[in-house]
């Protein structure tokens, strides 16, 4: 299925109403199962479902980067992927699989389904980096992400998540109606490629929320740059995890919210 479909509407302008035909971002449910049992259902934009499943399960600490597994892809009569089933030996499943989770994650919420505040945390060593960022470097990343986005120019209603290495080389840029789905797809793509360790910077089209910081920390991404701003909880976690946060990167300006010593 295509990521965008044509819909008719009426646009109201100063000169009066006008019939228009817009391309609208598609939103469909995808069930992610483990060993035949449903783990979660995500609302997502069709395409790159395997990457989404791997990225989400990695972010949830269900699998590791190199966890052996087999995939079964189920499609409906329209050839749309409706389920990804991962076959994994039970002893290889992470603690994220053992924690209870409800079976719905909507496209706008990465923490929906968590059952207690204690489920929101993450463990691991604080990230550290010695690289310095400059304004031209940051704006170059922004230009590269915009050039890599294929669906946004058509619909204007889809998020993008671009991952870069320390030199600013684009490793992956995925799009989805859910901002956290876009990041999961990019992380999942690098898991498939075997080069997730190279990802150091995330350039993101949406706001920087708690779940984006957590997912980045799991992937050891030490810098997040976004077109929109961060939430207070995102900043609190970013400072704890050693993640640099840059928000409102647009129109040749941006705001540094964490330790500014990494910028020159």
Residue list, annotated binding site: 248-253
CA 112 to chain centre: 15
Query: How far apart are the C-alpha atoms of 236 and 177, rounded to whole Å?
Result: 26
Query: How far apart are the C-alpha atoms of 5 and 78, rounded to whole Å?
Result: 14
Residue (of 197, 192, 191, 135) closest to 165 by Cα position: 197
Question: Which residues are CB-neighbours of 250 under 8 A, at least 6 positions away?
Answer: 227
Q: Please, what is the Cα angle at 164 between 163 and 170, to 5 degrees?
A: 95
> First CA to last CA across the chain, in angstroms?
45
**DSSP type of residue 119:** G
- What is the chain's alpha carbon radius of gyration, rounded to the nearest angstrom? 19
Residue (of 29, 88, 80, 28) closest to 64 by Cα position: 88
List beta partners, residue 56: none
Per the rule left: phi > 0, alpha: psi between -120 and 50, beta: everything else, 79 is: left
Longest dimension (CA), the chain: 66
Catalytic residues: 109
């Amino acid at each position: 299925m295509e990521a965008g479909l044509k819909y008719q509407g009426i646009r109201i302008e100063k000169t009066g109403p006008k019939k228009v035909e817009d391309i609208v971002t598609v939103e469909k449910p995808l069930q992610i199962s483990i060993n035949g049992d449903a783990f979660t259902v995500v609302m997502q934009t069709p395409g790159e479902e395997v990457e989404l499943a791997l990225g989400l399960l990695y972010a949830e600490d269900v699998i590791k980067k190199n966890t052996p597994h087999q995939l079964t892809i189920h499609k409906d009569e329209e050839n749309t992927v409706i389920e990804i089933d991962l076959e994994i030996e039970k002893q290889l499943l992470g603690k994220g699989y053992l924690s209870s989770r409800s079976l719905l994650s909507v496209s706008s919420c990465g923490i929906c389904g968590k059952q207690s505040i204690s489920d929101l945390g993450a463990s691991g060593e604080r990230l550290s980096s010695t690289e310095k960022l400059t304004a031209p470097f940051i704006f170059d990343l922004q230009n590269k992400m915009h050039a890599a986005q294929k669906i946004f120019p058509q619909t204007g209603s889809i998020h993008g998540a671009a991952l870069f290495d320390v030199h600013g080389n684009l490793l992956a840029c995925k799009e989805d109606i859910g901002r956290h789905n876009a990041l999961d797809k990019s992380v999942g793509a690098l898991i498939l490629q075997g080069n997730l360790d190279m990802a150091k910077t995330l350039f993101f089209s949406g706001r920087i929320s708690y779940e984006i910081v957590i997912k980045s920390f799991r992937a050891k991404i030490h810098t997040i740059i976004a077109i929109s701003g961060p939430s207070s909880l995102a900043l609190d976690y970013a400072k704890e995890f050693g993640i640099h946060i840059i928000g409102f990167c647009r129109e040749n300006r941006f705001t540094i919210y964490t330790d500014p010593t990494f910028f020159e």
